[in-house]
Amino acid sequence: MTTAETYVTAAYLVFLGVLLLYVVIYSFKVASLERAVAKISSGDKS
């Protein structure tokens, strides 16, 4: 592998890592929102 190929591979891996982190954080936000909606729709005031 040339130096350029190594840098391109590293850039793709960093991009995929950031994308994976974004998806994980977004899924936690969606799960939290779903819990809040379920709590509101059940009429629980606490």
Of 25 and 44, the structure prediction assigns the larger pLDDT to 25
> 44: pLDDT confidence band, cut at 50, 70 and 90?
low
Cα–Cα distance for residue pair 18/41, rounded to 1 Å: 34
- Domain parsing of the chain, residue ranges: 1-46
Res 45 pLDDT > 70? no
| pLDDT tens column, 1-35 | 899 999 999 999 999 999 999 999 999 999 999 99
DSSP string, 20-39: HHHHHHHHHHHHHHHHHHHH
pLDDT of residue 3: 95
Dihedral of CA atoms 37, 39, 42, 45 in degrees, nearest 10, equals: -130
